[in-house]
Structure 1
Amino acid sequence: MSAALSTLPDTAPYRRLAELGLMLPALPLPIGNFATHIHEGDLIYLSGQGPTHEDGRLHTGKVGRDVSVAQAYDHARLTGLNLLAVLHGALGDLGRVRRIVKLLGMVNAEPDFGDHPAVINGCSDLFVAVFGEAGRHARSAVGFGSLPRQITVEIEAIVAVS
């Protein structure tokens, strides 16, 4: 079940999500023997998330063959929303985010595909829209021959918090 905005803290990130017409999805569960996040000092390491809807539907396929760059951009944005849900679960308030430090964006791409940055911009653009300048981050966007369950994108993050 999505987090109702009326039950969320009244801080800027939630107001920005509402302005974008977005709601945080339910906390995604890990698909293996790992934690969704590790909080160490003032950093939170978010495990990779994919383009999964709350009802379990996944976006799958090879970007550049089955999936267009525009579609994969939307998948990366959905993945970013899932990362925000994990972050909210870890912190209780996205207002505690000092900076999105680093993203690693992985694209399930055809071997000759070369537009990985445009795909991962779906997540990057969301984070800048939600956190402003604190959402601007270092990033790698790379292609892979496959990803778990054949998802189109997987993204992990490192976040500085207070």
Structure 2
Amino acid sequence: MSRKSASFKGLVMGFVLLVCIVTVFMLVRGFWFSHDNEAVAVVEEFYQYEQEGEFASSWKLFHSTMKEKFSKGHYIQDRAHVFMNHFGVETFDFTMSEPEKIEQWKMAKTGPAMKNVYKILVTQTYKGKYGNLDLEQEVFAVKEKDEWKIVWDYNQ
């Protein structure tokens, strides 16, 4: 075998190996960083803040339309009062369903239509002075200015 032939085969093999590595990387990246994984991550982050009583941090993850519904101070005070004081708990556990993609959705009948929304059912389990209590809520993740944000359903 000539040197040129061996060099050419080595070059081709290197190119094939590079294409394989790039393909695997793109597949892994698509799996780990897909939109549904990002939507799940923001919902999980939101409820982890809520679990820890860090309501100012969870409020920051709201979509701008949610922030219009209540100020940060009002939200912090209400969440702590209702969940901590009335339920007599310090924290809760939560589970989340698999995300369901919705092409178009409205937070309220009169609100703007939001596109590429993910719906996730969140179940919060409280163990407090009134016994065990499960609270289920459909939570929606929507992209706003390249960031995933939380929206709740206000449709009647």
Tell me the TM-score normalised to structure 2 length.
Answer: 0.30
Which structure has more relative contact order (CA 8 Å, sep 6+)? It is 1
Structure with greater strand share of residues? 2
* Larger helix fraction of residues: 2
